[in-house]
Chains A and B, each alone.
Chain A
Amino acid sequence: QKEVEQDPGPLSVPEGAIVSLNCTYSNSAFQYFMWYRQYSRKGPELLMYTYSSGNKEDGRFTAQVDKSSKYISLFIRDSQPSDSATYLCAGKIQGAQKLVFGQGTRLTINP
């Protein structure tokens, strides 16, 4: 079993819809959770990170962590065609050296 599982999609939604991207993880020692966005032919870029459980909001993006169920989510409100990308979740143990990535979900926002 992979430490971080993510539905690879693809996911296609109309412009303006609320998008929900989800991951599950198995390592209860993870304290940090990241969402990276990767456009086609580009490297991943950090979108948001959260520490432990709870929500974090940044503009149209909300990251949510539920440690009791080992579930992490990214919500995109008022989705735009420019949000079309692959979204990767990752977990990290505090003080550890590496990130553990999910497989990535490919998202397309249709105008």
Chain B
Amino acid sequence: DADVTQTPRNRITKTGKRIMLECSQTKGHDRMYWYRQDPGLGLRLIYYSFDVKDINKGEISDGYSVSRQAQAKFSLSLESAIPNQTALYFCATSDFHTPKILDSSAFGTDTQYFGPGTRLTVL
């Protein structure tokens, strides 16, 4: 079974509709992220959450909102979808550990594990 799952995998909707994308993880990680990927622009961070009570805006949060319902679930909503929100959306998780030995080469690594993505088209 996949560790990070996203639903739906594909969605076509119309301008003005409310859309929710869901992410679930079985990795037991505290940190969860939402990115969008556009051709020529790479991955851009929308929102991130370090625990259920911690929600933070990323670089492109306008037009989006999130909900962290539980440690394992992180949803992204588009309250009123517009065509330039057509993109590939990825959820990711990570589990940051302070190493037992403060080796600077290990401290700060924060490997992110990505879900399979949701392809959203807004007409």
Contact B42 A88 (CB under 8 A): yes
> Known contacts A42-B117, A43-B117; is A97 also within 8 Å of B108 by CB?
no
What 0/1 readout, one digit per residue, does chain B (79-123) give for beta carbons within 8 Å of chain A?
Answer: 000000000001010000000000011111111111111000000
Q: In chain B, what residue has the closest Cβ to A52?
A: B105
Residue A14 lies at the interface, judged by CB distance under 8 Å to chain B: no
Set of chain B residues within 8 Å of A99, measured between Cβ atoms: 45, 110, 112
Interface size on A, residues (CB 8 A): 25
Residue B26 lies at the interface, judged by CB distance under 8 Å to chain A: no
Residue A70 lies at the interface, judged by CB distance under 8 Å to chain B: no
Chain A CB within 10 Å — which of B92, B109, B112 has the most? Answer: B112
Contact A101 B42 (CB under 8 A): yes
Set of chain B residues within 8 Å of A102, measured between Cβ atoms: 42
Contact A88 B43 (CB under 8 A): yes
* Choice from B33, B40, B112, B117 contacting A41 with Cβ under 8 Å: B117
Chain A facing B: main interface SS: loop
Interface set, chain A 31-47, CB cutoff 8 A to B: 31-32, 41-46
Set of chain A residues within 8 Å of B114, measured between Cβ atoms: 43-45
Residue A12 lies at the interface, judged by CB distance under 8 Å to chain B: no
Residue B74 lies at the interface, judged by CB distance under 8 Å to chain A: no
Nearest-Cβ distance from residue B43 to partner chain A, whole angstroms: 4
Given contacts A51-B106, A94-B108, A99-B112, 6 further A-B contacts (CB under 8 A): A41-B117, A43-B92, A43-B117, A45-B114, A49-B109, A97-B48
Seen from chain B, the residues whose Cβ lies within 8 Å of a Cβ on chain A are 4, 33, 39-45, 48, 50, 56, 58, 90, 92, 104-117
| 10 A-B contacts (beta carbon < 8 Å) | A32-B108, A43-B114, A43-B117, A49-B111, A51-B106, A97-B48, A97-B56, A98-B58, A99-B45, A102-B42
Nearest first, the 9 A-B pairs at minimum CB distance are: A43-B114, A94-B108, A103-B42, A101-B43, A51-B105, A101-B42, A44-B114, A43-B115, A43-B116
